[in-house]
Structure 1
């Protein structure tokens, strides 16, 4: 039993445990990321630095219709594909936000061919500013990716503009 406890202690000390923060325990800020992977089916957002995962955020929320790629304004889907973080909004209606470069040329061309608007203004953001505590559950955005306020504060510091993001079903 001593060996198992020692192994668990070493794993924890090396930071190889799950990256979810434990309430009441300070978590070190992740290093600056150069890539973000969103897995919609697993509901995870993973930061990478130099090809290695540095932090995983779980139980993230999506648009109210989470399955499938966003195609049109108002479809409440979260886009899928390769984009970048192209700007940030410190005055967001949702506790900080990082804008995703949706729609790209392909998204615009598809929507135009259907005589529709592809939509836009897709962000990774925190909780609504009107929510004074806690976190909304389920899929409640219009296509954005929502995390807790503490998580968006970490992401705000770790994700520079221009960071590549891949969103997968």
Structure 2
């Protein structure tokens, strides 16, 4: 009887342990990122200053797979060079940094295919009211092409990444 009672607690502890953030590196509170690097294959977002990683986060990406975004609605995260061009603290997600997708190359590629490249690609927290999901959100790629972090992580990123910061998204 006692073993049956302990088993759910052991499983819950294991799930919580797996959901703990992958250890974001700490930066001095005044240190700002001068670039953002997203490595899709590794599901990692890095904030850099002077070429050195000052913070690193595990992320969820677009549900359309790891291939490069080609068109509106494909659910993929784009690849290329962009900038943070706006911030929205009142988005449907817990804060959002807008990435300047599509760039000129993305528009040319979409035009060649005769499709719209899409847009509204962001780095954001969890959907409003769903912050309790925490790091468990990273178990699947669930966004429409955006890069998602926890609410606590977007709070850190929000403080360190100003508008105009370059963003590189690699395969």
Q: What TM-score, normalized by structure 2, do the two folds share?
A: 0.80
**Aligned-partner SS, 2:47:** strand
Taking the aligned partners of 1:65 and 1:105, their CA distance within structure 2 comes to: 22
Alignment partner, residue 152 of structure 1: 154
8 Å CA contact 2:131–2:151 kept in 1: the answer is no
Contact 2:84 2:97 in 1 (8 A): yes
Give 1:21 shift: 5.1
Name the residue aligned to 1:91.
90
SS in 2 for 1:133: helix
3-state DSSP of counterpart to 2:133? coil
> 1:30, 1:57 → 2: CA distance?
19
Q: Secondary structure at the match of 2:75?
A: coil
Once superposed, what is the RMSD of the aligned Cα atoms? 2.1
The aligned length equals: 148
Structure 2 unpaired stretches of 5+: 1-20
Contact 2:36 2:47 in 1 (8 A): yes
Q: Is the 8 A contact 2:24 2:57 kept in 1?
A: no
**Cα deviations across residues 29-64 of structure 1 (Å, max 9, x unaligned)?**
472000111111111111111111111112x10000
Deviations along 1:88-141, one digit per CA (max 9) or x if unpaired, are 101010000000100011111111121111000000000000315123231000
Given the alignment, which residue of 139, 142, 147 partners 2:141? 139
Measured in 2, the distance between the counterparts of 1:105 and 1:21 equals: 33
**Residues 63 and 87 of structure 1: CA distance in aligned 2, closer, same or farther (over 3 Å):** same
Determine the C-alpha separation between the residues in 2 that align with 1:108 and 1:46: 26
More helix by share: 2
1:72 is matched with which residue?
A: 71
Runs of 4+ in 1 over 4 A off after TM superposition: none
Native 8 Å contact 2:84 2:162 kept in 1: yes
Equivalent residue number for residue 3 of structure 1 = none
TM-score when normalising by structure 1: 0.81
Gaps of 5+ in 1: 1-17
Distance 1:37 1:27, change over 3 A: closer
- For 1:134, what is the secondary structure of its paired residue? helix
Distance, in Å, in 2 between the alignment partners of 1:125 and 1:132 is 12
